Amino acid sequence: MSIVPKETIEVIAQSIGIPNLSPDVALALAPDVEYRLREITQEAIKCMRHTKRTVLTADDVDSALNLRNLEPIYGFASSDPLKFKRAIGHKDLFYLDDREVDFKEVIDAPLPKAPLDTAVVTHWLAIEGVQPAIPENPPIEAIVAPPDGKKMDHGKDDSLPIDLKLPIKHVLSRELQMYFDKIGELILGRADTPLFKDALLSLAKDSGLHPLVPYFSYFIADEVSRNLNNLPILFALMRVVKSLLSNPHIHIEPYLHQMMPSIITCLVAKRVGHQISDNHWAIRDFASKIVASICRRYGHVYHNLQSRLTKTLIHAFLDPSKALTQHYGAIQGLSALGPSVVRLLILPNLETYMQLLDPEMQLDKQKNELKRKEAWRVYGSLLLAGGSCLYDRLRLFPGLLSPPDILPWKTNKKIALTNLPNNKRKASSRLTAHQPPTKKLAVDPTGTNSQFPSTDGPATSSSSGSNPNHHHSHNSSNNNSSSTGNITNANANINNVSGSGAHGQRVAVSNVLRQAWKEDLDAGHLLSSLHGLFGEGIFSFIQPAEMHCFI
Amino acid sequence: MEEEVEKAVFAYLRKKGFRLTEIALQEEQTRLSSDASSLSRSESDAAKYYDGYGKLRSWAYNSLDSYRHELLRVLYPVFIHCFMDLVAQGHMQEARTFFQTFREDHEMMHLRDLQKLEGILSPSHLEEMELARLWRQNKVKIRLCQYSYELLVQYLHKTQSLAMLGVINEHINFEVYPGQPASMSDDSEAVSLIGASQDLAREINQKELHWGLLEDSVEERMEKTLSESDKTEVDGNKEADTEDNNKKKTDGNKHSTAVNNKKKKDKVVGATGKTIRSESSMVSVPPRVKPELTLPQFPPEVEQSILEDLRNRVQLNSLALPSVSFYTFLNTHNGLNCSTISHDGSLVAGGFSDSSVKIWDMAKIGQPGRASNPQGENGSMQGMHSLASDEAKRPYSLLQGHSGPVYSVSFSPFADFLLSSSSDNTIRLWSTRLNANLVSYKGHNFPVWDAQFSPMGHYFATASHDRTARLWSVERIQPLRVMAGHLSDVDCVQWHPNCNYIATGSSDKTVRLWDVQTGNCARLFIGHRSMVLSLAISPDGRFMASGDEDGTIMLWDLSTGRSVSPIIGHSSCVWTLAFSCEGTLLASGSADCMVKLWDITSSMKALKTDDSKSGPASRLRLLKALPTKSTPVYTLRFSRRNLLFAAGALSAGS
């Protein structure tokens, strides 16, 4: 009946030395106990309100007991809210974690620090109704929100221009100046010390740094242009940028336009650090990540942010007069922006670019070892970009990872161009023949793929040298399946009717490629074209289960 | 045991030969026992209540749209009384299930009452609990239109549910009015009919109220002289304006401590504000009244300083918002219970749970040489303290004397005295010059929640857990008046600017206005849904604002006793309210770490044009919400120059 069960009463009775309490008494006591509890709670809430708190503490209960002329309950002297723990295995049983304390330990322990004395500090919460952006006030975001409601209320936006004036009005406090000087010193001199890590953490976490943002953005722009040869400093600066970006209290948008050029410089500069000794690739990677995160966060605020960025990068990418390092940066930047950017901007240019890159990579054509290394780097980044794009496609449209029957001919482009035509004819005839039934045969491709031996997932990497063999086997399996039930064709047909039109044009590989790009969702084509350009390397981007169909 | 007594009684009667008495007693007994048997029959009674209420409820919910809200009003009192009847008859289990089943319907409106009533588990609790007793003793009055009433009567007749009929007859008075049912929005009165009986409230609120300002106050004289000297002053101010502007630029960044700065800024704003004065000059001049208490006279130099302040006052309105200076208490370890700020913002006092009161002199805090120059002219006082050196190190003066948490502190108008009230049932008067306790006032029997100096000084009012508010003079250790009438703790108290009335807010969810001369209740304001925590009365004496535990702020017209506009102002307790000096703005501070500024003039205008009804059109308009950095706002105060001071303790959770 009452929330205090009579068992509780019995247990308490036993604990205070009344062993045989009659059940009637317990039953009668239970409701009264609940009433008294509620009464005390009500008084305790009053006391809580008068101590201007919204959390009930043990002190309040003591005061309430005091009000009723009852003895307080001893042992809960802490003014902090009590921390209850849930008893394991019970849904609604809680207990106080009250550990036993060894007296000796307490006595031996050094005296704790005396608590700080109470103090009063003042600040301007508002000046003529406008909150100044000082550390004592909550960060700007919190302030910006209310005006919306206010505008709704009475349609006035007179406060807006005042808000914009704020950063100009503000004068940097001495503490902030010292902070800024210290950070600057750390960046330029001691970026490898643990102190710098703490500084980065502080930049990423502390509120009230907002007034410093314009100074930091100027500082970063200045130092980046001055220290292009000094990789550690650049790295430190980029890490500062990253920290500032991740600080939730900083309203960085107005300063992005100052920061972006420095970051992009780090990404696509021709020379960053001393080429030979320094790992300038790392800073390009890092910068690309920052750029991507900026686009993700502020892309919706600045609509042209991403388009401007991609324009800059694609310009660097497509300009053959630019150095390979710049190409690398551009590719990294673009690929960090996501697979769709890669698909739209890099892949259409991939083929032509590869033609350019090929000679640079080959030992006989490019004698300069450094240049060759760079070329391979670029190749690697392209491979990664394409591969991650492919991976993304495959993940989104698992139905598309069927082995497209065009794969063999295209991959044979380099190796077996000669046998391509007849193969193709065969295939197309096969296709037309099987088109009607395939519609019924829309079987889950992964399910059928599991018929194939699934052990050689990793083996593909080893068979990089035996391209022809591999594709032959693939071909044969393809033929087998088509002769029996033709499952693979069903998959080929998923990429809709236009497929048959495309088949007719397959003589010229570039045409096929063009067609393939048109079909955005066609992962099969994508894979095949990528395979054409990268060979076996691309397979590492496909999940093992999906690999089976190529083996 | 009882039987033995009876036997003894019968034996005695027989022995003495009181035959008739014996027969009467026997008859009595048989009747009692038949009652007892009827009690056992009443097992089915419980079900009757359950069914009866359930049917009434579904009927009311299915009634015609336009009458439904009126009929639904009937449900709540019926629900409460059914529950209490069940409890009274001893059907605990049934009462519980009944309560839980239908509780949900009323949660929105009456959550707090329900939480209290939920605890009733035996007939004895009904007797004990204030709220339950009130319900039992008072009849609820419900206004229904003619047709709704007929509908209800018809229903009760048709269904023959005697239990419901009984409850309704016994506990509800219907006030039937002709015509169409009133609109939903007027519901506020119907909602809050518990506690005091409505009749009483109406009777009280019909008394005459002299809400005007005092005759011959400094302000009035000021107004007179102002009209004469206005011209010359404006010229003088222009010069001062440019000068101050320059100063402001130079020390704009050092605003942290120096009060001087604030004053300067204050003045600058004042000068600009002056130009607007012509347009926003007082719309209506409040009537003047004579003081009912003998009030002290201000010394001439004090009067001078007030005049100076008034001359430099900033005109605030919806376009010219005030500057807010915030005093943050650091390292309070959850111990700060209350704070107050003197009129000029130079002194800040806090009352703590550890029984201490601390006063900070903001003018001295910025000075570096303070530690070496202990207490200045008060050096002679040092001998009294054993820890003189310790004293010198502290940036504040520590006042010790209470023996329980200090729940309120209040400065006298010129900050030479400080009052503190505590849970040790006493109020203490401290001198801020001597940093010593002068008087301890004993009179309350329970913790004193609030103490407030009158606007003219000399008198003060207190509010206590003992359900009384008391009026005191600083010179006497006994109270001058005891204001009794609240049904629960009196939680806050506030003076009317003309010193003839004090307002009190209580846990019984009402606000009362008391006449200080007679000690009678002059107004009763019903409308809050939870404990009233803060009060403020506009400087023209016409309006009162009250804030409660839920974050609601209500504005009342003192003369009519009606609510002007209830608003959900905050998401948590409204700890403090303050009117600007011309009464154009209301500032509210809350546990949700916000200072909000509300436009009063616009809602007043709406009130004037549409005097009969207080529709949603006359809501308070939010001008600005100023969030603090996890600092609940405990105190707000407008200086005489209209600078807003706020204080709060930084909560450790941040």
CB contact under 8 A, B330 and A50: no
Mutate to test the interface with A, among B118, B121, B362, B487 (most CBs of A within 10 A): B121
CB contact under 8 A, A116 and B330: yes
- Residue B218, classified by CB atoms within 10 Å of its CB into exposed (0-12), middle (13-18) or buried (19+), is middle
Residue of B nearest to A120 (CA): B329
Cβ neighbour number for residue A429 with a 10 Å cutoff: 11
- Rounded CA separation A258/A245 (Å): 13
Nearest-Cα distance to chain A for B157, in Å, is: 34
Q: What's the pLDDT score for residue B102?
A: 85
CB contact under 8 A, A120 and B362: yes
Cβ atoms B165, B159 nearer than 8 A? no
Strand partners, B568: B552
- Residue B626, classified by CB atoms within 10 Å of its CB into exposed (0-12), middle (13-18) or buried (19+), is buried
Per DSSP bridges, beta strands B594-599 and B172-177 are unpaired
Distances (CA, A) of A492 to A447, A533, B117: 16, 21, 73
The token duo for B58 is 């579904």
Q: Give chain A positions within 8 Å (CB) of B625.
A: 146, 149
Comparing CA positions, the residue from B545, B552, B567, B544 lying closest to residue B618 is B567
- Rounded CA separation B506/B512 (Å): 8
- The model's pLDDT over B558-575, given as tens digits with 9 standing for 90+, comes to 888 888 777 888 889 999
Q: Whole-number mean pLDDT of chain A?
A: 69
Residue A403 in this model has a pLDDT that exceeds 50: no
- The model's pLDDT over B375-400, given as tens digits with 9 standing for 90+, comes to 434 434 444 444 444 555 678 899 99
Q: In A464-543, where does DSSP find H-type helix?
A: 467-484, 488-494, 498-504, 509-518, 523-534
Q: Give chain A positions within 8 Å (CB) of B121.
A: 1-2, 31-32, 34-35
Cβ neighbour number for residue B326 with a 10 Å cutoff: 23
Between B5 and B267, the more confident residue is: B5
- The model's pLDDT over A20-79, given as tens digits with 9 standing for 90+, comes to 888 888 888 888 888 888 888 888 999 999 999 888 888 888 889 988 888 988 877 665
- Rounded CA separation B637/B577 (Å): 8
Helix axes A159-169, A140-154, angle to 10 degrees: 160
CA atoms within 13 A on the CB side of B289: 19
Residue whose entry in the numeric block shows the structure tokens 């109704």: A129
> Within an 8 Å CB–CB cutoff, is residue B332 touching chain A?
yes
Comparing CA positions, the residue from A534, A498, A536, A504 lying closest to residue A517 is A498
Q: Which of residues 123-152 of B touch A (CB under 8 A)?
A: 125
The token duo for B195 is 């506690």
Residue A479 in this model has a pLDDT that exceeds 50: no
Q: What's the pLDDT score for residue B398?
A: 92
Cβ atoms A542, A401 nearer than 8 A? yes
- Rounded CA separation B34/B46 (Å): 19
Q: Give chain A positions within 8 Å (CB) of B116.
A: 38, 42
- Residue A304, classified by CB atoms within 10 Å of its CB into exposed (0-12), middle (13-18) or buried (19+), is exposed
Using alpha carbons only, what angle is made at residue B430 by residues B428 and B436, rounded to the nearest 5 degrees?
115
Helix or strand run (H / E) with residue B402: none
Helix or strand run (H / E) with residue B338: strand B336-341
CB contact under 8 A, B622 and A54: no
- The model's pLDDT over B83-136, given as tens digits with 9 standing for 90+, comes to 888 888 888 888 888 888 888 877 777 777 788 888 787 888 888 887 788 888
- Rounded CA separation A301/A257 (Å): 13
> Within an 8 Å CB–CB cutoff, is residue B420 touching chain A?
no
Q: Give chain B positions within 8 Å (CB) of A1.
A: 92-93, 96, 121
Strand partners, B350: B339, B358
Q: Which residues lie below 8 Å from residue A370, measured CB to CB, with a gap of 6+?
A: A275, A276
Residue whose entry in the numeric block shows the structure tokens 């009590």: A82
Report ipTM for this prediction.
Answer: 0.72
Between A299 and A503, the more confident residue is: A299
Nearest-Cα distance to chain B for A142, in Å, is: 8
Which sign does the torsion angle of CA A501, A503, A508, A509 carry?
positive
- Rounded CA separation A26/A22 (Å): 7
Residue of B nearest to A140 (CA): B627
Q: What's the pLDDT score for residue A160?
A: 35
Cβ atoms B641, B314 nearer than 8 A? yes
Q: Give chain B positions within 8 Å (CB) of A32.
A: 121-122, 125
SS3 for B553-587 is: EEEEECCCCEEEEEEECCCCCEEEEEECCCCCEEE
Q: Give chain B positions within 8 Å (CB) of A138.
A: 627-629
- Rounded CA separation A79/A214 (Å): 43
Highest mean pLDDT among A317-321, A415-419, B633-637: B633-637
Between B242 and A59, the more confident residue is: A59
Distances (CA, A) of A60 to A35, A109, B395: 18, 31, 30
Q: Give chain A positions within 8 Å (CB) of B253.
A: 171-173
Using alpha carbons only, what angle is made at residue B477 by residues B471 and B483, rounded to the nearest 5 degrees?
25
Please tell me chain B's helix, strand, coil percentages from 3-state DSSP, rounded to the nearest 5: 40, 25, 35
CB contact under 8 A, B326 and A31: no
Q: Which of A32, A49, A67 sits opposite B447 (nearest CB)?
A: A67
Q: What's the pLDDT score for residue A11?
A: 87
Nearest-Cα distance to chain A for B252, in Å, is: 8
- The model's pLDDT over A411-447, given as tens digits with 9 standing for 90+, comes to 444 443 344 444 444 444 444 444 444 344 444 444 4
Per DSSP bridges, beta strands B140-145 and B172-177 are parallel
- The model's pLDDT over B491-518, given as tens digits with 9 standing for 90+, comes to 999 999 888 899 999 988 889 999 998 8
Cβ contacts of B111-118, under 8 Å, gap ≥ 24: B112/B529, B112/B530, B113/B194, B116/A38, B116/A42, B117/B80, B117/B83, B117/B84, B118/A38
Q: Which of B116, B121, B323 sits opposite A124 (nearest CB)?
A: B323
Strand partners, B574: B590
Mean pLDDT on B420-436: 93
Nearest-Cα distance to chain A for B79, in Å, is: 19
- Residue B369, classified by CB atoms within 10 Å of its CB into exposed (0-12), middle (13-18) or buried (19+), is exposed
Per DSSP bridges, beta strands A94-96 and A119-126 are unpaired
Q: Give chain B positions within 8 Å (CB) of A67.
A: 446-447, 465
Q: Give chain A positions within 8 Å (CB) of B362.
A: 120, 122
- Rounded CA separation A24/A21 (Å): 8
Cβ atoms B95, B87 nearer than 8 A? yes
Q: Which of B92, B325, B405 sits opposite A124 (nearest CB)?
A: B325
pLDDT band of residue B227 (cuts 50, 70, 90) is low
Q: Whole-number mean pLDDT of chain B?
A: 77
pLDDT band of residue A141 (cuts 50, 70, 90) is low
Q: Which of A52, A115, A122 sits opposite B327 (nearest CB)?
A: A122
- Rounded CA separation A472/A464 (Å): 14
Highest mean pLDDT among A76-85, B15-24, B175-184: B15-24
- Rounded CA separation A367/A360 (Å): 9
The token duo for B433 is 């010059």
Q: What's the pLDDT score for residue B547?
A: 93
> Within an 8 Å CB–CB cutoff, is residue B634 touching chain A?
yes
Mean pLDDT on A187-202: 82
Residue B461 in this model has a pLDDT that exceeds 50: yes
